[in-house]
A and B are shown apart, each in its own frame.
Chain A
C-alpha cells in the first residue's frame, strides 16, 4: 500500500485522511458530520465540483492529522455511499477503503417523528435499521426517506 496518492498533485497532506468521491455538494455535510465547524483548528482542504470520470462531479475533503472513527465513517456512508477513505501517513496512502452503510444505526440519525420516545431525555440512543424504503426507526416505526443528511446527529 505504498502508491503515491493522486491527490498529492493538488494539496498534499502529510498525515491525515482524504475522503474522495463524495457526491458533488455534500462536502459541507461531511464536515458537519465530523463535527468540523468554522471554529476548527484542523487544517482542511475542500474541493467541490471536481471533474470526475465516474460521477461527473465530486467533492473531496482532506483533513490533516486525523483518522476517522468507525462511527464517523458510518455516518459518511449515509450521504456518500461511493466515498473512499484514504488514510495518509507520511504523504503515502497507508490504507484505502470504501464505506459501507451498516444494517443498524445506533445514535447516528435523529428520528423525524417529534412524538418518538427517542427524541426525549430517556437514556437510549436512536436506533434505525437500513431498509430499501429508507431508514426505519425501531422505536416508533417511522421511515426516514428524505434529507437524511439533515437528520444525522
Chain B
C-alpha cells in the first residue's frame, strides 16, 4: 500500500515518473474510467477550498467519486474524536484518504490507523507533497530541472512550500538562491540539509541582484501576523514586492511561481508578462493530483 506523505520519501526516479505521468494526462492520454469504482475520502480538518476542489476534480476526471465529512464545525472533531478514530472509520468507507490537518505529522499518524492509502494534502507547517510536485512540474514545462538557478523569495522561515521545493530540487543539479526579510530567513538547519545533499545555496540581500540571476523565482507570502503592526509589515513587504521594473533585468526564460493565494507580493501588472506562470501552476494541480490518485488507487 502506497501512502503519499512527504516529498522526502520520493526518489528522483519516482518524481520523474510521476511528472511524466502528469504530462501524459495533460495531453489527454488517460483512462477516464480508471477509478470508476473508487471512492476518495476527503478529510479536511482545516479549510483549504482550492486544494480540496482540485483533489475532487482530479478524482471526478478519472471517473471516481469523493465523500467528505462536511465542515469541521459539524463533524465528529467537535465531539472530541481523535484523528486516529476518524481515520479508522473513514478508511472503511473509502478506497483512499486525502488528509488536510493543522497538526504536523498528522498524515504520518493517519497511515498507522488507515487500511487504505493516505495522501497528505498539508499537515500544519509540515509536508504538502502534491504542491511540491506541482511546482516541479511547472518548472519542467518551461525548462529542464537540471542546470538551473532557482530563487526562493519571501517568508523562508515558516514557508513550508519553499522548504519542500528546495528539498525536492536537491535531486537535480540546481543552485538555490534565497532572499527573505530579516527574521524570516531560511533556518540554518534547512540550509545545512540542502548543502549536505550537494546543492549550492546562495543567500542574497539585494532583490535586484537576486532577480537578475534566476531561471525560476518562487515567491511566497509574507504574513502580516509575523509583524507587530501593519505599518512595519508594509515597510518590509513593499521592498520584497515583485514588479515589472524589478524584472526588467531578468533572464528572458525566467519564470515566476507562487503557490497562491497571493496578496501584495506580486504586482498585478506582472501577470501579463511572459514570466508569470502562477495561474498555469494552479491549473497543473489537476494532472498532478490525477497522477497521484492513480499511483495509490490505480
Pair from one complex: yes
Contact segment of A8-16, A18-26, A42-50, A111-119: A111-119
Q: Chain B's nearest CB lies how many Å from the CB of A5?
A: 44
Alpha-carbon separation in the docked complex, A80 to B29 (Å): 60
The reply to whether A116 and B82 form a contact with Cβ atoms under 8 Å apart is: no
The reply to whether A141 and B126 form a contact with Cβ atoms under 8 Å apart is: yes
The reply on A40 being an interface residue by CB < 8 A is: no
The reply to whether B104 and A140 form a contact with Cβ atoms under 8 Å apart is: yes
Number of A-B contacts (CB under 8 A): 51
Contact segment of A64-72, A86-94, A99-107, A120-128: A120-128
Across the interface, which residues of B come within 8 angstroms of A121, CB to CB? 82
Annotate B140-177 by CB proximity to A: 1 below 8 A, 0 otherwise: 00000000000000000000000000000000000000
The reply on B105 being an interface residue by CB < 8 A is: yes
Alpha-carbon separation in the docked complex, A143 to B102 (Å): 19
Across the interface, which residues of B come within 8 angstroms of A152, CB to CB? none
Closest residue to A138 on the B side, CB-wise?
Answer: B108
Given contacts A122-B84, A123-B82, are A117 and B189 in contact (CB under 8 A)? no
- Chain A interface size, as a band, is 10 to 19
Among A121, A137, A140, max chain B CB count under 10 A is at A140
Closest residue to B109 on the A side, CB-wise?
Answer: A117
Interface residues of A in 128-153 (CB under 8 A from B): 133, 137-143
The reply to whether A139 and B189 form a contact with Cβ atoms under 8 Å apart is: no
The reply to whether A124 and B104 form a contact with Cβ atoms under 8 Å apart is: no
Alpha-carbon separation in the docked complex, A26 to B112 (Å): 36
Alpha-carbon separation in the docked complex, A118 to B127 (Å): 16
Residues of B in contact (CB 8 Å), total: 19
Closest residue to A111 on the B side, CB-wise?
Answer: B105
Annotate B116-132 by CB proximity to A: 1 below 8 A, 0 otherwise: 00000001111100000
**CB < 8 Å neighbour of B126 from A120, A140, A143:** A140
Alpha-carbon separation in the docked complex, A113 to B102 (Å): 13
Across the interface, which residues of A come within 8 angstroms of B126, CB to CB? 140-141
Given contacts A115-B125, A117-B109, A139-B109, are A122 and B104 in contact (CB under 8 A)? no
Q: Chain A's nearest CB lies how many Å from the CB of B193?
A: 9
Q: Chain B's nearest CB lies how many Å from the CB of A118?
A: 6
The reply to whether A120 and B103 form a contact with Cβ atoms under 8 Å apart is: yes
Alpha-carbon separation in the docked complex, A7 to B12 (Å): 57
The reply on B83 being an interface residue by CB < 8 A is: yes
Across the interface, which residues of A come within 8 angstroms of B104, CB to CB? 113, 115-117, 139-142
**CB < 8 Å neighbour of A122 from B109, B124, B125:** B109
Alpha-carbon separation in the docked complex, A142 to B101 (Å): 17
Closest residue to B82 on the A side, CB-wise?
Answer: A122
Interface residues of B in 70-95 (CB under 8 A from A): 82-84
The reply to whether A116 and B189 form a contact with Cβ atoms under 8 Å apart is: no
Closest residue to B192 on the A side, CB-wise?
Answer: A133
Across the interface, which residues of A come within 8 angstroms of B82, CB to CB? 121-123
The reply to whether A139 and B108 form a contact with Cβ atoms under 8 Å apart is: yes
Given contacts A122-B82, A123-B84, A124-B84, are A117 and B108 in contact (CB under 8 A)? yes
Across the interface, which residues of A come within 8 angstroms of B84, CB to CB? 122-124
Closest residue to A139 on the B side, CB-wise?
Answer: B105
Alpha-carbon separation in the docked complex, A142 to B104 (Å): 10
- What are 7 pairs between A and B in contact, CB < 8 Å? A115-B103, A117-B83, A117-B105, A139-B104, A140-B124, A141-B105, A141-B126
- What are the 9 tightest A-B residue pairs by CB atom distance, in nearest-first order? A139-B105, A140-B104, A140-B105, A117-B105, A117-B103, A117-B106, A115-B124, A115-B104, A117-B109
Having A117-B108, A122-B82, A138-B108, one finds 12 other A-B pairs with CB under 8 Å, namely A113-B104, A115-B102, A117-B101, A117-B106, A124-B84, A124-B109, A137-B105, A140-B104, A140-B105, A140-B126, A141-B105, A141-B126
